[in-house]
Homo-oligomer: A and B are copies of this chain.
Amino acid sequence: MSDDEPLLSPSLIERFAGIVGERHALRGAEEVAPYLTEPRGLFAGHSRLVLRPGSVREVSQVLALASQTGTPIVPQGGNTGLVGGQMPDATGRQVVLSLSRLNRIREIDVASNTMTAEAGVVLQAAQQAADGADRLFPLSLASQGSCQIGGNLSSNAGGTGVLAYGNARELCLGVEVVLPTGEVLDDLRKLRKDNTGYDLKNLFVGAEGTLGVITAAVLKLFPKPKGREVAWVGLSSPRQALALFADALERAGSGLTGFELCARIAVDFALRHVPGTVRPLQSEHDWYVLVEISSGRSPEDARALIEDILSAGIEKGLATDAVIAESLAQAAAFWRLREAMSEAQRAEGVSIKHDISVPVAAIPDFIDEAGRAVRAIEPGARFVTFGHMGDGNLHYNISQPKGAPGEAFKARYREVNDRVHDVVRAFAGSISAEHGIGQMKRDELVATAPPVATDLMRRVRKAFDPAGIMNPGKLI
């Protein structure tokens, strides 16, 4: 940072601080540090100022001042994003706007099955509040203990509940947004149907804070399942998994609330490196699937359904072995094993990760073809493939060859990325299924998406934020 920084002068800092109050305008290096690094350590930024507004009014005043003075604003929730969308750049000119203090659940309307929550509500707190009202809020992510509703919506979070309940987008009925000018768009409606003009809500959802700041949202709630069963299935190939998925969907319909695919090595890594994980099946298999069934009727009903799916699967040769969790604790352990996979990879050295989706039916072919492409670059690559197979979404993560120096693999990051994404595009897939674009994939999006689409996105951005203050350098 240089001393002659024109855009974030001491006097401007004072004006921003005056809006949120001295206590909530963080400036000391130690105070701002937690806002300037992210979980994987891939992106780090600088900022002289982190603002923690305590009301929508304060957010509005901050953005109005930012627009007047051309000050770039970087909205931040729980700071768990994986593509650097919540990180300021290196200039020190950008102001971080933390929504954490807007953490009130404004209302739960049990009869309308809605919750109105502010942006800073931690996802787990939202889940618990729903639970307390005998309802289910089905958004569920590995980072749910710290990620926040505003960030979940701004990144259109996915997670493990998408199969039956949809992404964050589908779970959102209405939003309250502060526009770059400071104007407040109050669209906090609880309506299941509303055809009054363009769908502005779905523009803000997934916009990664580039069009405005979501300050609150109306979220959908669901009846709590009366029965839930989780099984761990061993099988020989993704093709077998796909057939099992089709059969399970046929039998369970929307009662199929989880279908997660994991390669053997992903399980082995988790067991090796993450304390407390346990092997669900005694037998070993090249691939595993976690199946979750929910029933709105009874525990017995869920049990009968999962037994039906598994016995048909084994009988038809779609599964080799399977075990049903015999307690809530065991069911949680199955899920913990699945969720430990990302973290476990760290201990195995350098990894190159991809958050991709393809049409569900193309998953086995994708795994074959992407594997061939990567092996051509690095024959010793280890494929730690796992993910939300029912959504066509894989975390196609690759660990460095065993025992080899990590740097050599790291040097191939771009090449591996490009080849994998080429295969994704060949299947008309997405290079960011659930994590978003942020800083990480912006150049690639611009380089590879149809120019017609990126041009429209630029026009939308310009229309919403003519001053260009909202999260510059992200998304497009």
Stretch touching chain B among A51-59, A63-71, A183-191: A183-191
Residue tally, chain A, CB below 8 Å to B = 92
Asked whether any CB of chain B lies closer than 8 Å to the CB of A161, the reply is: no
Asked whether any CB of chain B lies closer than 8 Å to the CB of A354, the reply is: no
Asked whether any CB of chain B lies closer than 8 Å to the CB of A376, the reply is: no
A202 and B450 CA atoms in complex are apart in Å by 18
Given contacts A197-B445, A359-B114, A463-B459, contact A428 B190 (CB under 8 A): yes
A160: chain B residues within 8 A (beta carbon): none
Given contacts A296-B255, A464-B459, contact A431 B196 (CB under 8 A): yes
Q: How far is the CB of A18 from chain B (nearest CB, A)?
A: 25
A225: chain B residues within 8 A (beta carbon): 253
Instruction: Find out whether the CB atom of A193 lies under 8 angstroms from the CB atom of B296.
Output: no
A239 and B393 CA atoms in complex are apart in Å by 43
- List 5 A-B pairs, minimum CB-CB distance, nearest first: A253-B296, A111-B361, A202-B202, A190-B359, A194-B430
Given contacts A170-B170, A254-B254, contact A360 B428 (CB under 8 A): no
Instruction: Find out whether the CB atom of A452 lies under 8 angstroms from the CB atom of B183.
Output: yes
**What are some 15 contacts across the A-B interface (CB < 8 A)?**
A111-B360, A112-B360, A185-B453, A187-B450, A189-B359, A190-B360, A191-B428, A191-B429, A195-B437, A196-B430, A196-B431, A198-B461, A254-B254, A254-B296, A459-B463
A223 and B109 CA atoms in complex are apart in Å by 32
Please name the residue on chain B nearest to A193 by beta carbon: B433
A198: chain B residues within 8 A (beta carbon): 203, 206-207, 211, 456-457, 460-461, 475-476
A202 and B380 CA atoms in complex are apart in Å by 43
- A148-203 contacts to B, CB under 8 A, are 155-156, 158, 162, 164, 166-167, 169-170, 179, 183-200, 202-203
Q: How far is the CB of A243 from chain B (nearest CB, A)?
A: 9
A242: chain B residues within 8 A (beta carbon): 111
Asked whether any CB of chain B lies closer than 8 Å to the CB of A462, the reply is: yes
A211: chain B residues within 8 A (beta carbon): 198
Stretch touching chain B among A92-100, A244-252, A323-331: A244-252
